[in-house]
Amino acid sequence: MATEYHNLSSYDPTKVPNGSDMRIGIVVSEWNEEITNALLKGAFQTLTKNGVVPENILVDYVPGSFELTFGAKHMAENKNIDAVIILGCVVRGGTPHFDYVCSGVTQGITHLNTIYDIPFIFGLLTTDDMQQAIDRAGGIHGNKGDECAITAIKMIDFYRRNLEE
C-alpha cells in the first residue's frame, strides 16, 4: 500500500501556494459518517492553515459515496468555486456493491475533471475494512482529507499558472 511509504498528512509547507484567494467546495458523503467527518475536519483545518479563508470553504453533504459525483457537479455549476474536494468512504463487504460504487465514483470524478475548468479532488477511501478507513482518517496513516486539501490548493495554482502562459 502506498500509505505504508507516505503518510497522508505529510507535506512540505514550502511547496504549498497561499490559498487566501481561493474558494473551495467540499462534498461529503454521510455514509460512514464517523470517517467522512474526520476527513472533512482534516481537509478544513489544512485549507485554513494554508491561507484559505473559512468563509471560502463551502461544505455540503450527500447521502452516500455514489452521490458524490452529482453533488460535485452541482457545486461546481452553482457555487463559483475554484475546486471541489469529494470525501467519502466505501468499505468492502460481501457483495460486488463495493466494486460498483468505487468504479462509478472514480469514473465520475475523472469525467468531471475532463469537462470542467476546475479540479475535482478524489478523496474517496476504498478500504477492505473499517480499521483501514480509521487509519486513513486521522489514524496511523494520516488523514486523506489533509492530502486532498493540499492537492486542491496545488491544482488551483497549477491551473492559474497555466492560464498565464
Q: Which of 74, 97, 111, 141 is catalytic?
A: 97
Size (the chain), residues: 165
Cα separation, 90 vs 143, in Å, equals 15
Q: Output the nine-digit C-alpha cell for 119.
A: 479540479
- Spatial separation of the C-alpha atoms in residues 150 and 50, rounded to whole Å: 8
Q: By the 8 A CB rule, do 124 and 89 touch? A: yes
Please give the single-letter amino acid code of residue 73: K
Active site (annotated) includes residue 111: no
Can you tell me whether residue 63 is helix, strand or coil?
A: coil
Amino acid in position 100 = Y
* Cell numbers that stand for 76 in this block: 461546481
Q: Residues 6 or more apart from 3 whose CB is under 8 A from it? A: 135, 136, 141, 142
Which residues are catalytically annotated?
97
